Chain A
Amino acid sequence: QKEVEQNSGPLSVPEGAIASLNCTYSDRVSQSFFWYRQYSGKSPELIMSIYSNGDKEDGRFTAQLNKASQYVSLLIRDSQPSDSATYLCAVIPETSGSRLTFGEGTQLTVNP
């Protein structure tokens, strides 16, 4: 079982819609969860971090964490063409020290 799994996509949504990205993780005692955005040919950049169960909102982005289900998601409201990128879910497994472990990413395309 992979440590972090994401819907491989690609995901395509129309401009203005809500994009929903999902991720599951295997280490039940993980405490730190992140979403990175990566534009084609660029390096990953952090857009959201979440540590507690529930929702965390930042502008058009909402991260959701459910530790019981070992599930973390990212919602992008009012999607824009500039949101078109690969979204990487990342977890620090509690057994790993400080190693950030990434999923394979979900490629999102927002169509004008």
Chain B
Amino acid sequence: DTGVSQDPRHKITKRGQNVTFRCDPISEHNRLYWYRQTLGQGPEFLTYFQNEAQLEKSRLLSDRFSAERPKGSFSTLEIQRTEQGDSAMYLCASSLPRTDTTNEKLFFGSGTQLSVL
């Protein structure tokens, strides 16, 4: 079990640049989530995939953010024209198919720390 893998661990970029993060979920998990976390706050939901379908996206999510999961395996999160307010830890999580409540447990990756200068 290799767990949820995220790349890169850290990203420093200049305001206005585009950045892309990658997440590889646990292999048998068909559900994948992206969250954002700032210091002193709980993780904030961004978007959710079941297989390759993006089923939910936060209303708070700017149109500068886009996520894909083209083959139902790994996912990418892209932020266009980054702003200083985008600086945060971006967390990916995965879980098993929701056949019952015991499969609602999320397993998190180590996150990508984004700093926008």
Q: Is the CB of B91 within 8 A of A99?
A: no
Using known A-B contacts A99-B45, A99-B48, A104-B41, determine if residue A43 contacts B91 with beta carbons closer than 8 Å.
yes
Which A residues lie within 8 Å of B91 (CB)? 43-44
| Chain B residue at smallest Cβ distance from A101 | B45
Q: Is the CB of B45 within 8 A of A34?
A: no
The yes or no answer to B33 lying at the interface (CB within 8 A) is: yes
The yes or no answer to A92 lying at the interface (CB within 8 A) is: yes
Using known A-B contacts A32-B101, A98-B48, A99-B56, determine if residue A43 contacts B110 with beta carbons closer than 8 Å.
yes
| Chain B residue at smallest Cβ distance from A97 | B56
The yes or no answer to A17 lying at the interface (CB within 8 A) is: no
Q: Known pairs A46-B107, A88-B43; list 14 more (Cβ under 8 Å).
A: A31-B101, A34-B105, A44-B91, A49-B101, A92-B104, A97-B56, A98-B31, A98-B55, A98-B56, A99-B33, A99-B48, A102-B35, A104-B40, A105-B41
Interface residues of A (CB under 8 A from B): 4, 31-32, 34, 42-46, 49, 51, 88, 90, 92, 96-105
